[in-house]
Amino acid sequence: MFETWEELEESIKDCKKCKLCQTRQNIVFGVGNKNAEIMFIGEGPRSR
């Protein structure tokens, strides 16, 4: 596990654990309250 949000963010920059890495342009780590009780995690819309 990660001790800080910064460690987690750094670890995803070069992630290749799924096929999304083949087409991604940017990684958007997110915004909002990092102490929220609920987080929504997902893939953003693709540009065409």
- Copy the structure tokens of residue 45: 């819309």
Is residue 45 predicted with pLDDT exceeding 80? no
Q: What's the rounded mean pLDDT across residues 29-35?
A: 81
DSSP H helices in 1-48: 5-12
Report which DSSP code applies to 13: T
User: Under DSSP, is residue 19 helix (H, G, I), strand (E, B) or coil?
Assistant: helix
Is residue 37 predicted with pLDDT exceeding 90? yes
- pLDDT tens digit string along 2-21? 898 889 889 888 889 988 88
Report which DSSP code applies to 22: G
